[in-house]
Structure 1
């Protein structure tokens, strides 16, 4: 899923609740109306604001306080936008090796492996697709490759 798709999952305010104006992103999950200046927050902004004041809050507490579902809180953790507090007895698990992690999908070691594997596949695809230019193909020696039919 691309970044735009991920951002759409977090209930971004697009229309001002006060005047119907256009909401403009100001950073860290905050949006401000172009017309009346009203402020609203996407799910990330709501969750972040709450945990800044209530360190160590659980997903259930966050859901009850700001109305953002526990599922969305878990997605924010997996996307690496939030991190489980240090000293917490709750952890995520690396999707490859099962090691305890506080944020994201992979532990640092597996993250490196995943990126190296992706880079290798990308190089392989680029090398595979680069063939054809500058390489001689059977039966085409000295012939024009592109002919205009008239």
Structure 2
């Protein structure tokens, strides 16, 4: 563990992983997330500027939640982000479905799959006659 300052309030805290926010600021941020999520659920046609203004959350923070796939907007809202790869409009995440499928396919082909092990019998044993003694 390392001791670091919180990006929001500046207090010292033991940092383990994730955003560099102290536990108190993380709780506040999670409360804002819950409020934002509820607002979007109740107002599916709201645009991102309205959501930010009504929930008192910054637009970059909302976009971050969308990229993390914690938030998603309905088809009717008209809100979308661009796919990081091809630029197609998406509702949540970083990549569109086609780009995700291409990446998965490329990763599957990136490494050589192990070949099945075939045991070869010796040629002499295969051709030899066998006798049973009584």
Q: Same fold (TM over 0.5)?
A: yes
* SS class of match (1:71): helix
For residues 98 and 59 of structure 1, the distance between their equivalents in structure 2, rounded to whole angstroms, comes to: 19
TM-score (ref. length: structure 2) = 0.55
**Which one has the bigger helix percentage?**
2
The normalised TM-score by structure 1 is 0.50
Partner of 1:113: 102
SS of equivalent to 2:76? coil
Rate the CA distance shift 1:110–1:60 in 2: closer, same or farther, 3 A.
Answer: same
What does the per-residue CA deviation read over 1:35-91, in whole Å, with 9 as the maximum and x for residues that have no partner?
xxxxx6614222112212222222222222221111111111112111122123332
Alignment pair present for 1:82 and 2:91: no
Aligned with 1:87: secondary structure?
helix
Max Rg structure: 2
Structure 1 residue 96, shift from structure 2 partner:
1.6
Q: 1:44 aligns to what?
A: 33
| Match 1:63 to one of 49, 52, 75 | 52
Specify every segment of 5 or more residues in structure 2 that has no aligned partner in the other structure, as ranges: 1-16, 115-134
Q: In structure 1, which of residues 7, 14, 19 is the aligned counterpart of residue 23 of structure 2? A: 14
After TM superposition, the structure 1 = structure 2 runs for residues 89-108 of structure 1, keeping only pairs within 5 Å, are 89-108=78-97
Take 1:119 and 1:98, find their aligned partners in 2: how far apart are those partners?
24
Correspondences of 1:20-35 after superposition (within 5 Å): none
SS of 1:90 mapped into structure 2? coil
Q: Give the 3-state SS of the residue equivalent to 2:92 in structure 1.
A: coil
Q: CA RMSD in A?
A: 3.1
Aligned length in residues: 97
